[in-house]
Every structure is written in C-alpha cells, then in structure tokens.
Amino acid sequence: MKLHLFYPTKQQKTIKNMKLLVCISHVPDTTSKINFTEGDTKFDTNGVQYVINPHDEYCLTRALWFKEKQGASITVITVGTQLVEPTLRKALAIGADDAIRVDAEPKEAFFVAQQIADVAKKEGYNLILTGRESIDYNGGMVPGFLAASLNYNFVNACIGVEIEGQNVTATREIDGGSEVLATTLPIVLAGQKGIVEEKDLRIPNMRGIMMARQKPLKVVPAIEVILNSTTVGFEKLPLKSACKLVSPDNIDELINLLHTEAKVI
C-alpha cells in the first residue's frame, strides 16, 4: 500500500548553497561483546569497537547525493567526549565538509537533542538528517525532540526524499506500506535503510582519509540542560537455550515441543 498526502506549499525561490546537518551517533559494533560494570549500572567499554550508527550512515550517504547534485554543504555533528572523534573523522573521510563535537557525555535523548538544537539555531541549517534511532539504546527520541526544539517540520522513518527549492517530498515507512508527504524546508528527517540502499553506502578511500585530516573539527562546550531521566541499571538478555533438532518425519514430536516447551501453540 502506498498513501500519498500532499499539502499546498508556496512557490519559493531555489535555495543556493543549501546547508545540511547530519547527526552522527558513536555506537558499538554489533559484533562487540556487551558487558556491564559497577553492579550493572555502567556499560563496559573495554574491547568494544565503535562505528557510525548504521541509520546515520544511510543519512550521510543521502546528504552526499545532495552535495554532488545540488552543491549542498555537509556538517556532521555528535555529542560526546574526545573518544568519539575517530567516528567523526570517518564521516569526514566519507565526504562531509566539516564536523562539530559537542563536548559532553550523551546522558539521555533530551539532553542530546538540546545540544544539537543549540548548534543548529546558530548556524541556520535548511535540512537536518538523523538516523531513526541509534542501535545501542534504540530510543528513537532524539529526532522528534530536535524538530520540536527548532520548530522544524519533521518526518520519521524516512525512506526517500527529494528537494526542489523550498519544497520537500518525503517518503516514510508505515505499517503495511509507505506514505508520501509534501512539506517545506526547514525540516528534520529521521532516516533509515531505504533513504539509500546498502549497496550505495560510501567506503572511505585513501584520498578521503588523507583529506579528512585537514578538514575542520570544531569542539563546542555543552549548554546546561536539566536531565529528565537517569539510567538506573542494565540487564543482559537471558542466554538462548540449546537448539533442538527434530526429524522431518516426526511431526508428533515437533507439535509436542511447540506446545509444551516453546508454548507457541
């Protein structure tokens, strides 16, 4: 199913030198072994490999298309300590023009959104792209908080976007299909796979890595934000039970196991 919703917009002049902001999360690689310390109240970073959040990487690639086709400039931003700078440098190597690091521990979603909003208000970005959620906490709250703080239009779960002048046509995923929306800049788009395909993701080459060393990475102080929540503790998922193999000829045993052990029938 595909639902089209179009809202009337004023015809406005084409934006020259469109400014894009791409929000980058510094997240553990999915192959990392997850552990907690201090009575399961803190995440154990020992031996953990960090990467660009996959949803954010799709958004960065889509931003590069705007850069190549419409001459847009791309700034990447994250909230974090100095430890996140290799992730920002990778984004620069992929093709972003400059980077901003808000010097603070990303304590919760509202805190992160307010830090990014403070920077965005000063710089006047036309389009802000951010992943639908980060794959570590899967909260999915930062994009909405950010759009509300800036009073920007907002489309979540975005799987396609085209911009002509001030007009934006965005496609978002909904249950059982997709929905096409027409709106205007400025806007926050929370993207995911589909905004570009996995085969289109950019891999930094040697030239990009060398150029990234020369690109500006600005560090700005965090603003004061009252925290709305705190982390009480973490709990690991229970270990999966051993897999039982059932002969395809023994249907009775399979039904019995599904009924008595799996409890799915």
Range of the domain at 39: 2-221
Q: How confident is the model at residue 9 (pLDDT cuts 50, 70, 90)?
A: very low
Render pLDDT for 177-209 as a digit per residue (tens, 0 to 9).
999 999 999 999 999 999 999 999 999 999 999
Q: What angle do CA 211, 212, 214 make, to 5 degrees?
A: 70
Task: Look at residue 16 in the predicted model and tell me its pLDDT.
Answer: 66
Torsional sign, CA 199, 201, 206, 208? positive
Does some domain include residue 250? no
Does some domain include residue 150? yes
Size of the chain, expressed as the number of residues it contains = 265
Closest among 137, 135, 103 to 118, alpha carbons compared: 103
Does some domain include residue 260? no
Report whether pLDDT(8) > 90.
no
Render pLDDT for 64-106 as a digit per residue (tens, 0 to 9).
999 999 999 999 999 999 999 999 999 999 999 999 999 999 9
Does some domain include residue 50? yes
Task: Look at residue 7 in the predicted model and tell me its pLDDT.
Answer: 45
CATH number for position 117: 3.40.50.620
Does some domain include residue 217? yes
Domain count of the chain?
Answer: 1
Does some domain include residue 242? no
Q: What is the mean pLDDT of the segment spanning 24-36?
A: 93
Q: 135 with 53: CB under 8 angstroms?
A: yes
Mean pLDDT of the chain: 92
Does some domain include residue 229? no
Does some domain include residue 256? no
Query: Which tokens sit at 181?
Result: 């929306």
Render pLDDT for 115-159 as a digit per residue (tens, 0 to 9).
999 999 999 999 999 999 999 999 999 999 999 999 999 999 999
Report whether pLDDT(30) > 50.
yes
Q: How confident is the model at residue 15 (pLDDT cuts 50, 70, 90)?
A: low
Task: Look at residue 6 in the predicted model and tell me its pLDDT.
Answer: 45
